[in-house]
Structure 1
């Protein structure tokens, strides 16, 4: 849900989110559909591309690198 909200807020399509993050379009689409869960390595790339925190357990003030 966080990924969808951030993509919508930034006007990013699945294709653009995929291109910017290096995560395949299929994986981005499956995550958005709730068909798959991301592991830490997969979620780190969209965090960098969107410059936002997507991992729910991350401490506030500890941004992605």
Structure 2
């Protein structure tokens, strides 16, 4: 899956919500806090991590390329 970034960055929990991978921001924050999200191959625990162009996010079997 590809996501075209409209601004300089998007916060991680907002990205999950925008792409409908979760039902709410609270659920997104819980998924991140539980260690289910990888950013560029490493577990990302920061809910408000600034996701920028070139980042690759993995949640379950979904891989997101940020363009």
**Does the pair score TM above 0.5?**
no
Report the TM-score range of the alignment, normalised by the length of the smaller protein: 0.3 to 0.5
Whichever of the two has the greater Rg, that structure is 1
TM-score by length of 1: 0.37
TM-score by length of 2: 0.37
Give the structure with the higher percent strand. Answer: 2
